């Protein structure tokens, strides 16, 4: 086993939407090349927390944070951090597949084009590599110039993963990546997450307890802005320490 | 009550019903032994079929529960415990049947001196009492009571360990009662097994309530003794 390295870390993190205290003193350290699942009821802060890792909340009026978010030990809210550089490092996949109304090929290389890469050969190679990694290559290799919108929901989501991978991030944030998909597509995404963790650090928000159990190494349970429990997924689902965790995962909340 | 709790309650109730039946089997076995009651012994043997039906039914209920509710945490431990307790109850049922078979072999009531010397009656009573207390521990979710049972089993083991020598001596002195003595010795062995099985069940209750694995711990202690 490799030595454990902390990839993402939050230290005494507080976040506010105006007066609303959305995240309360969060302390957590996530290991490199590990899958961490965030679970908790709606409005518990898990998505807010996920989005602080690539500063997606910056656009929201009145949003502010206190405390530190560290990527490889570096504060990502520091003044000298460029958000576009940060997002090259930290990719994101959303709940609803959101391909651009362009060809499959253009979707995958979109980020690279923005970076100014123009060479066709480089783009083609990157596209194939990313699509292979997202387990979509075999299904789309003969129709790269067709519209991405013609793909099925599950294929679109894998395309979005390929698009995120194309810019070679080291962290992948996933906000309920399979909740809009059927069981077969869900299984493919989960299989993919399992594969990808060899190379990437993955953080996934999910409402599906079994999914958290199947794909993650560690699980964090959030409740009303607090990080209630963070432990190995196995421990969390067999013998949670906190009563609130137990009530939530066994479906007895409220 | 949430749907899942209704199902868990059903499972628990079914297991407690089985527990009652097995306890009745054990009590009857004691009577059959003391009175050398052939007819009662035969009834016990026949009634073991009912115990087996419970076993199958509870297994099936657990299987359905896993498939439909995918339980986690305390619910998961509860169903796992029920599965194992079910298996142990079934085994205790078999043990009661076995005792009945030995009781059937007795020509008449066991002679007083043999009963006295082997302590088979207090041993049997303690085993039945432990079995009943174990039921209470399960019903009331009481791991503390469960822990006391593990200790109480040692008294049964002690009587069992001495029984070989005592029975051998008795047979030497009463050669006409060898078959009776052998039957008593076999019953002692069976009762000792009941104690072990109650211990297993107690360990499952502790696992279910406290998420701690306590089984196989005394093995190490025993080796040191």
Average pLDDT, chain A: 94
CA torsion angle B144 B145 B147 B148 (round to 10): 130
pLDDT of residue B213: 85
CATH code, residues A6-98+171-249: 3.40.50.300
Residue of A221, A231, A239, A240 best to disrupt the B interface, most CBs of B under 10 A: A239
A173-196 average pLDDT score: 92
Coil, strand or helix: which one is A98? coil
pLDDT of residue B218: 60
- The DSSP code sequence of B122-186 is HHHHHHHHHHHHHHHHHHTT-HHHHHHHHHHHHHHHHHHHHHHHHHHHHHHH-GGGHHHHHHHHH
Higher local confidence (pLDDT), A105 or B106: A105
Residue of B69, B74, B81, B210 best to disrupt the A interface, most CBs of A under 10 A: B74
HSE-up (13 A, CA, CB side) for residue A226? 7
pLDDT of residue B222: 54
pLDDT of residue B211: 85
Q: Is the distance from CB of A191 to CB of A200 less than 8 angstroms?
A: no
User: Which has the closest alpha carbon to A33: A229, A193, A179, A253?
Assistant: A193
User: With an 8 Å Cβ cutoff, are A238 and B2 in contact?
Assistant: no
Nearest-angstrom CA–CA distance, A28 and A254: 26
pLDDT score of B36 more than 70: yes
User: With an 8 Å Cβ cutoff, are A246 and B77 in contact?
Assistant: no
Residue linked to tokens 């060898």: B178
Instruction: Pick the residue from chain B with its C-alpha nearest to A246.
Output: B73
* Among A37-41, A217-221, B105-109, the least confident range: B105-109
- Residues above pLDDT 70, as percent of chain B: 96
pLDDT score of B198 more than 90: yes
B40-68 average pLDDT score: 96
pLDDT score of B195 more than 60: yes
* Sign of the torsion formed by the C-alpha atoms of A46, A50, A52 and A56: negative
pLDDT of residue A142: 96
A143-149 average pLDDT score: 96
pLDDT of residue B223: 53
B92-120 average pLDDT score: 93
pLDDT of residue A105: 97
Q: Is the distance from CB of A75 to CB of A68 less than 8 angstroms?
A: yes
**pLDDT band, very low/low/confident/very high, at A2 (cuts 50, 70, 90):** low
**pLDDT band, very low/low/confident/very high, at B217 (cuts 50, 70, 90):** confident
Q: How far, in Å, are B47, B120, B132, B198 from residue B19 at the CA level? A: 14, 23, 8, 11
Residues in chain B: 225
pLDDT score of B1 more than 80: no
Strand partners, B39: none
Partner residue facing B74 (CB), from A209, A213, A246: A246
A150-174 average pLDDT score: 95
Can you give the residue ranges of every domain in chain A? 6-98+171-249
pLDDT of residue B214: 85
Domains of chain B, first to last: 3-224 (1.20.58.220)
CB within 8 Å of chain B, chain A residues 171-230:
209-210, 213
Least Cα separation, residue A183 to chain B (angstroms): 16
Q: Is the distance from CB of A215 to CB of A204 less than 8 angstroms?
A: yes
pLDDT score of A254 more than 70: no
B40-59 average pLDDT score: 97
Q: How far, in Å, are A104, A106, A110, A113, B199 from residue A119 at the CA level? A: 17, 13, 13, 9, 73
pLDDT score of B91 more than 60: yes
The tens digit of pLDDT for each residue in B121-174 reads: 999 999 999 999 999 999 999 999 999 999 999 999 999 999 999 999 999 999
pLDDT score of B220 more than 80: no
Q: Is the distance from CB of A37 to CB of A219 less than 8 angstroms?
A: yes
Nearest-angstrom CA–CA distance, B22 and A8: 56
Average pLDDT, chain B: 93
The tens digit of pLDDT for each residue in A20-35 reads: 999 999 999 999 999 9
Is A235 in the B-facing interface, judged by CB distances under 8 Å? Answer: no
Is B70 in the A-facing interface, judged by CB distances under 8 Å? Answer: yes
Is A251 in the B-facing interface, judged by CB distances under 8 Å? Answer: yes
pLDDT of residue A1: 47
Q: Which residues of chain B does A213 touch, with a Cβ-Cβ cutoff of 8 Å? A: 72
């Amino acid at each position: 086993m490799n030595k454990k390295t902390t990839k993402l870390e939050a230290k005494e993190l507080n976040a506010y939407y105006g007066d609303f205290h959305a995240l309360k003193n969060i302390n957590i350290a996530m290991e490199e090349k590990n899958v961490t699942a965030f679970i908790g009821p709606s409005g518990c802060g898990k998505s807010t927390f996920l989005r602080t890792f690539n500063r997606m909340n910056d656009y929201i009026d009145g949003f502010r944070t206190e405390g530190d978010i560290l990527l490889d030990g570096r504060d990502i809210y520091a003044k000298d951090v460029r958000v576009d550089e940060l997002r090259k490092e930290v990719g994101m996949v959303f709940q609803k597949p959101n391909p651009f109304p362009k060809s499959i090929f253009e979707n995958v290389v979109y980020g690279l084009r923005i970076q100014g890469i123009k060479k066709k050969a480089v783009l083609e190679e990157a596209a194939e590599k990313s699509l292979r990694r997202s387990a979509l290559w075999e299904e789309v290799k003969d129709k790269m110039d067709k519209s991405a919108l013609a793909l099925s929901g599950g294929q679109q989501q894998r395309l979005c993963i390929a698009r995120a991978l194309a810019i070679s991030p080291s962290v992948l944030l996933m906000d309920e990546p399979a909740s809009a998909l059927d069981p077969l597509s869900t299984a493919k995404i989960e299989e993919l997450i399992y594969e990808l963790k060899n190379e990437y650090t993955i953080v996934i928000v999910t409402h599906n307890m079994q999914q958290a159990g199947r794909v993650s190494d560690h699980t964090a349970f959030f409740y009303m802005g607090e990080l209630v429990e963070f432990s190995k997924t196995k421990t969390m689902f067999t013998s949670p320490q906190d009563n609130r965790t137990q009530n939530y995962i066994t479906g007895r909340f409220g | 009550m949430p749907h899942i709790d209704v199902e868990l309650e059903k499972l628990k109730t079914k297991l407690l019903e089985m527990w009652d039946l097995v306890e009745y089997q054990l009590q009857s076995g004691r009577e059959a032994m003391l009175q050398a009651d052939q007819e009662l012994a035969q009834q016990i043997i026949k009634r073991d079929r009912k115990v087996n039906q419970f076993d199958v039914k509870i297994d099936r209920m657990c299987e359905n529960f896993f498939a439909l509710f995918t339980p986690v945490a305390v619910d998961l431990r509860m169903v796992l415990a029920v599965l194992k307790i079910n298996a142990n109850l079934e085994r205790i049922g078999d043990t009661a049947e076995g005792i009945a078979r030995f009781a059937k072999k007795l020509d008449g009531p066991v002679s007083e001196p043999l009963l006295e010397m082997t302590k088979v009656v207090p041993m049997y009573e303690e085993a039945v009492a432990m079995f009943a207390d174990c039921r209470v521990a399960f019903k009331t979710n009481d791991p503390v009571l469960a822990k006391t049972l593990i200790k109480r089993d040692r008294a049964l083991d002690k009587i069992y360990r001495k029984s070989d020598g005592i029975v051998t001596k008795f047979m030497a002195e009463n050669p006409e009662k060898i078959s009776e003595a052998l039957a008593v010795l076999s019953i002692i062995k069976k009762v000792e097994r009941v104690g072990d099985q109650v211990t297993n069940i107690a360990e499952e209750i502790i696992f279910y309530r406290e998420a701690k694995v306590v089984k196989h711990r005394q093995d190490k202690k025993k080796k040191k003794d």
